[in-house]
A and B are shown apart, each in its own frame.
Chain A
Amino acid sequence: EPEVTQTPSHQVTQMGQEVILRCVPISNHLYFYWYRQILGQKVEFLVSFYNNEISEKSEIFDDQFSVERPDGSNFTLKIRSTKLEDSAMYFCASSGQRNEKLFFGSGTQLSVL
């Protein structure tokens, strides 16, 4: 069964550094998403992406964050100048139709020290 793949599974970084989280969505999906989950809290929407453009973004997704689809298979989330409060599990998801049946990856656990 096709699946969403995320790398790395764990990322430790120093405060102020930049990180790039990588995702390979399901190959025939057109809609891509990033969510995050701080330990013990809700899964929170960050951004959705379609046709090489951001479709929707949350208040969390400020200028510190950016997304890119650099080639036909990868979808990345860049976090610049990381802060302690950016520590969370970051999930990538994809879907064949907008906001329908999202398939999630296993996540990248980001720890900012």
Chain B
Amino acid sequence: EDQVTQSPEALRLQEGESSSLNCSYTVSGLRGLFWYRQDPGKGPEFLFTLYSAGEEKEKERLKATLTKKESFLHITAPKPEDSATYLCAVHYSSASKIIFGSGTRLSIRP
């Protein structure tokens, strides 16, 4: 059973067209939810950590939010350089490891 599910699998936007990526989780005892960016052939690059429902974090055109069941990564007025795969990952109390979702491949057209 998938514990971390990301949607959509792929998203194509026009430059400047804002949207949101979803990460839903079914684990109990969430200890941290992470967002990473991954460029082709590279390792994941850390973006945000969220710990509790209601928490929000921002960085440039990205904003991450967290509820008790899901997290959103909002992208405002994206640019072509925001094109990448965005990964969600969770650490929860019954597992001493961080597990990743399948990611959303984001493509921004100029």
Contact = CB atoms under 8 A, between A and B. Distances in A.
Contacts of A109: 41
Contacts, number: 58
Nearest to B49: A101
Specify the main secondary structure of chain B where it touches its partner. strand
Interface residues of A, number: 25
A105 interface: yes
Interface of B: 31-32, 34, 36, 38, 41-46, 49, 87, 89, 91, 95-103
B43 A107 contact: yes
Interface of A: 4, 35, 41-45, 48, 55-56, 58, 89, 91, 93, 98-107, 109
Contacts of B34: 101-102
Interface centre among B43, B44, B89, by most A CB within 10 Å?
B43
B49 A98 contact: no
